[in-house]
Chain A
């Protein structure tokens, strides 16, 4: 029982990393009703930039962080222009497939830029173990968890208390009406991608610092974990992203403990598969029934 609870604690801590990734996905989906499958690789390129700075330029943590975030945003904008802005509004799946294609591109670029298998990534977390009764927690995980909550609060503030945030929500709701209100949905898409990429860069920085290394598999990994966490929580929902990330973390931690790394990964996908079939709206979403959906379509 102790093991199980320890796993749950580990899961919640690690899950906050997933939650951060999911936040990026869900914000974009909430605003643009589209999935960006190049999210992970964009972050990876950002991380590579950070690593490059760390190895060749300066070991200053802030500079590395800036390099990571700025590069992620730059790559994000590239993806945005090619896969989302240029594609017809209602072709949501086309955007998704397109972003998958660009993911292939980005992976190859990454391979050419940094051909080694792993690179060190700076860590600014001091790693200590904190004992709480029969359980223990690693300090860097607690830091990540708290930072995630802070980020969620900041995001909420941004969306609900600022004018750009309001514009974002307006476009998410009804782009045509927003256009009539003078909101340029193209700029909003740009803004959304920039914000999302920044969060992604930050998430990547935190996760990789805790890990203290970056490998070429990070891109794929980040995309899938973020995607799974988002869908578990419910697409388009910010609190859902957090819940989904934590749920994923807990399930994975226990699966790993009792079954090993492969079982852990299978469980993640199994959880996603079952959730999609039984409750596609996720933890937070409503039960979507196909026939009801027709009622909301303008038939």
Chain B
């Protein structure tokens, strides 16, 4: 039985991968979002409220939180349709900060067993006890997280291989050319935004229940930039890219004792270097393409 510390790291990799995939989806369709942490946070709070204050089962809360996140993402997606590039990125940043700051003003407490439980502004939201109340072990919850992650990966791979996936990648390379092929970018930009919001939302609710305590400060710019960085480091050519990025940071860097306390310096430097030498990450489109061709040829031989 693997020890709890290792399981915690593995769980974190799983949950953070979800927000990384969320940022990745937008990256490949051509937009850099600094604000996916907003949807992660909205879903964390909504899902936690659903289980802790309203007594809903986890999977319903998961869908509830993620749908709320997706709705918010769609709303922002619609508002930002006519802006792109730098303006879009800053707008997502602004929205995410508005969400985070608004959480400081969120107070909604309910009395449960003689105690006041619920989000309380800057003091956060503790006692998210669903795992304990339902006798779920750390191992079992880790499996839940990876179950969700695998489902998301499966759906993303399906999309990748479909016309929709192609359209996303077209938008990411040349929106004008995409239009000239007969496609209206509006539909797809909003679809990408909603999907990305939903995926981030899944991560958020799972995170709240894993940590059992959430506060507004957890959903700040740092989280947003990290989620972008994972795709940029791991590679934008495949859904495994962001996962690679997460594994490198949480799995590898976090455990390197020699750089304890300097992780940000190393990570930040790594991102900057990658952007100079491998701007589309380790597993970029070209490399993934060659790998696939090589595999194809190997199978034929």
Contact = CB atoms under 8 A, between A and B. Distances in A.
Interface of A: 35, 82-83, 86-88, 91-98, 100-105, 107-109, 112, 220, 224, 227-228, 231, 235, 262-263, 265-266, 269-270, 272-273, 276-277, 280, 289-290, 294, 297, 299
B279 A266 contact: no
B120 interface: no
B232 A107 contact: no
A269 B264 contact: no
A270 B79 CA distance: 13
A270 B98 contact: yes
Given A270-B98, A280-B83, 20 more contacts: A83-B275, A91-B275, A93-B89, A96-B86, A96-B89, A97-B271, A100-B34, A101-B269, A101-B275, A102-B269, A104-B222, A104-B264, A105-B269, A112-B262, A273-B94, A273-B98, A277-B79, A289-B82, A294-B176, A297-B176
A297 B95 CA distance: 29
Nearest to A103: B268
Interface in B197-232: 221-222, 225, 228-229, 232
A299 B176 contact: yes
18 contacts: A82-B276, A83-B272, A91-B275, A93-B85, A94-B279, A96-B32, A97-B228, A97-B229, A97-B275, A98-B275, A105-B268, A107-B264, A231-B90, A235-B86, A265-B101, A272-B91, A277-B91, A290-B84
B268 A269 contact: no
A104 B83 CA distance: 27
Given A105-B269, A109-B265, A266-B101, A273 B91 contact: yes
Contacts of A276: 80, 83, 87, 90-91, 94
A93 B102 CA distance: 28
B279 A112 contact: no
A277 B91 CA distance: 8
B32 A102 contact: no
Contacts of B104: 262
B32 A97 contact: yes
Contacts of B268: 101-105, 108
Given A96-B89, A97-B32, A266 B98 contact: yes
B261 interface: yes
B90 A104 contact: no
Contacts of B261: 112
B165 to A, nearest CB: 22
B284 interface: no
Contacts of A294: 176
B105 interface: yes
B33 to A, nearest CB: 11
Contacts of B98: 266, 269-270, 273
B147 to A, nearest CB: 32
Contact of B265 (A105, A266, A272): A105
Contacts of A97: 32, 225, 228-229, 232, 271, 275
A101 B267 contact: yes
A290 B189 CA distance: 15
A269 B267 contact: no
B245 to A, nearest CB: 12
Contacts of B225: 97, 100-101, 104
Interface string B266-285: 01111110011001000000
The winner among B83, B84, B101 for most chain A CB atoms within 10 A is: B101
Interface in B89-118: 89-91, 94-95, 97-98, 101-102, 104-105
Contacts of B84: 290
B83 to A, nearest CB: 5
Contacts of B228: 97
Contacts of A107: 264
A92 B222 contact: no
Contacts of B86: 35, 92-93, 96, 235
B90 A227 contact: yes
Nearest to B83: A280
Contact of A82 (B102, B176, B272): B272
A31 to B, nearest CB: 15
A104 B265 CA distance: 7
